[in-house]
Structure 1
Amino acid sequence: MTFILSDVQNGVMTLTLNRPERLNSFNDEMHRQLAEALAQAERDDAIRCLLITGEGRAFCAGQDLNDRNVDPNGAAPDLGASVENFYNPLVRRLAKLPKPVIAAVNGVAAGAGATLALGCDMVIAARSVNFIMSFSRLGLVPDCGGTWFLPRVAGRARAMGLALLGEKLSAEQAHQWGMIWQVVDDEALIDTGRALAAHFASQPTFGLGLVKKALYASESNTLDEQLDLERDYQRIAGRSDDYREGVAAFLAKRPPVFKGK
């Protein structure tokens, strides 16, 4: 079955999580299909932005617990293997992808579905969305980058409350807390996401990729280290075709035509 719908148009790859009868919760095959799609996004220079959304009533309800039943003989499942083999590579690929990644979140984003959304570069949520860090309800630890992203987007106090209580957080509240970029009416979600993705697909992709790398590096760098990194990245960006085109367009008073190189 096709659990990841992929569509590439005008520089935008749209990936739709497609297990609506299970609220787009992950099983192993869905992970494998998503990994294949991300590999295409990595190697295809014509893809200049990635948009991720969900089919039906949910963005993603996290891990499908039907795939994680305890062995009838009493052996506990190795959840660490699932994290190591699927969720960790997913988070790393999204962070390292040198192109903007947008999450257009619909319905419910729970467990790894919530942390997957927060791991994207920009998050647009429908007004009806609830984010739920549901791990604690099962006695588990937030994964898919949850313990890294939460304190950074929400602050430690709010991260603790969200992770320990596992209560619903509305899209409006997430926006007020600075956790997501934008809240839109439900019926406007996909069009808003596509418009933003189309904008990024026309921008200097090479430079945007360096911006991503610099911001991620800043989480662990000292000020001196970050200043040196900015110097190095600016040197690289200044040698790009996109920079030359941007300057030429500015001087000629015409719209730039960036190639993402």
Structure 2
Amino acid sequence: MTSNVLTDLRDGVVTVTINRPESLNALTRETMEAVAAAVAKAATTARAVIITGNDRSFSSGADLQGSVQEGGLGLDRANAIIRSIIDLPIPTIAAVSGPAAGIGCSLALACDYTVMSEESYLMLAFTKIGLMPDGGATALVAASAGRHRAMKMALTAQKVWAKEAFEWGLTSEVTQAGEQLNRAQEIAAQWAQGAPLAFASSKGAINAATLTELDDAFDRELKGQTALRESKDFAEGVTAFIEKRGPNFTGE
């Protein structure tokens, strides 16, 4: 297991911690694969899973510099990881602090239960670099918050702070700053003592009823994102981000 992802198993609960504080827990291909491996192992060793970051950040999204060098996160694989978390037979909970942005937002929303610090926020900032939401976000956000709120997040790239995220149905509850992991641990401990077959059946039924568009969303996002990555706007968006300036998009 890479040091970029830490795991801890206690009393039937696996805590998976994204550990790249220098980049606000930005996700590389290696980091995503490590999260996937930890979650897959948890299916046979635990009764509940917590996915978290640190007090500054859950995840700021894809590591643009690292992922460009690696040829991207590998969206088809990233989609498979998001799907594997949703399909996990044991309940999952995201403990969110700071930003949960881009693919980090999808990672949080893929969990069955989300606890957000009052100082945290969700964000789909893709259009700022000439891309579209991915990781199933076009379906995950719309399934919880509705079409117009999904459009607002995608087209404005604004931060949706914890209180508003709760009002929109994008998070299960909000805690005081720094208490998100403690609260997640309380809930996961209860799940670890619960009925695993009932949890698995309940999860499967609710996800089947509410995420009917998820696989189609993965396909649309993959096709759209692949085309957008070939655009001059994407190249300009990444360059502007790295140079910390506003982009000059031309629609090419």
Could you tell me the TM-score, scaled by structure 2's length? 0.80
Asked whether the 8 Å contact 2:27–2:62 carries over to 1, the reply is: yes
Query: 1:70 Cα deviation (Å)?
Result: 7.3
Identify the residue that residue 138 of structure 1 maps to in structure 2. 129
Asked whether the 8 Å contact 1:133–1:167 carries over to 2, the reply is: yes
Identify the residue that residue 142 of structure 2 maps to in structure 1. 151
Do residues 82 (structure 1) and 74 (structure 2) align?
yes
Query: 1:220 Cα deviation (Å)?
Result: 6.7
Identify the residue that residue 106 of structure 1 maps to in structure 2. 97
Do residues 57 (structure 1) and 56 (structure 2) align?
yes
Cα distance per residue 1:197-233 (max 9 Å; x no partner): 1011110011101111111111377xxxxxxxxxxxx
Identify the residue that residue 26 of structure 1 maps to in structure 2. 27
Cα distance per residue 1:109-154 (max 9 Å; x no partner): 1111112111110000000002111111111111111011011111
Q: Distance in 1 between matches of 2:122 and 2:166?
A: 11
Q: Distance in 2 between matches of 1:9 and 1:68?
A: 33
Could you tell me the TM-score, scaled by structure 1's length? 0.77
Asked whether the 8 Å contact 1:12–1:198 carries over to 2, the reply is: yes
Aligned length: 211
| SS at 1:174 equivalent | helix
Alignment of 1:141-180 (within 5 A): 141-180=132-171
Q: Distance in 2 between matches of 1:187 and 1:162?
A: 25
The one-letter code sitting in structure 1 at the alignment partner of 2:9 is V
Identify the residue that residue 228 of structure 2 maps to in structure 1. none
Query: 1:94 Cα deviation (Å)?
Result: 0.5
Identify the residue that residue 217 of structure 2 maps to in structure 1. none
The one-letter code sitting in structure 2 at the alignment partner of 1:48 is R
Cα distance per residue 1:82-128 (max 9 Å; x no partner): 1112x112111111100110000011111111121111100000000
Percent identity over paired residues:
34
Structure 1 residue runs of 5 or longer lacking an equivalent are 72-76, 222-261
Asked whether the 8 Å contact 1:23–1:56 carries over to 2, the reply is: no
Q: Distance in 1 between matches of 2:21 and 2:161?
A: 21
| SS at 2:3 equivalent | coil
Identify the residue that residue 41 of structure 1 maps to in structure 2. 42
Query: 1:69 Cα deviation (Å)?
Result: 3.3
Cα distance change, pair 168–39 in 1 and its aligned pair in 2 (3 A): same
Q: 1:196 aligns with which of 187, 191, 202?
A: 187
Q: Distance in 2 between matches of 1:172 and 1:155?
A: 17
| SS at 2:95 equivalent | strand
| SS at 1:26 equivalent | coil
Asked whether the 8 Å contact 1:153–1:179 carries over to 2, the reply is: yes
Root-mean-square deviation (CA, aligned residues, Å) is 1.7
Larger Rg: 1
Cα distance change, pair 68–3 in 1 and its aligned pair in 2 (3 A): closer
The one-letter code sitting in structure 1 at the alignment partner of 2:89 is P
| SS at 2:133 equivalent | coil
Asked whether the 8 Å contact 2:29–2:67 carries over to 1, the reply is: no
| SS at 2:171 equivalent | coil
Structure 1 segments (4+ residues) deviating >2 Å? 68-71
The one-letter code sitting in structure 2 at the alignment partner of 1:67 is G
Identify the residue that residue 95 of structure 1 maps to in structure 2. 86
| SS at 1:63 equivalent | coil
Q: Distance in 1 between matches of 2:137 and 2:96?
A: 17
Asked whether the 8 Å contact 1:19–1:55 carries over to 2, the reply is: no
- Which of 34-43 and 187-196 deviates more? 34-43
Q: Distance in 1 between matches of 2:4 and 2:27?
A: 9
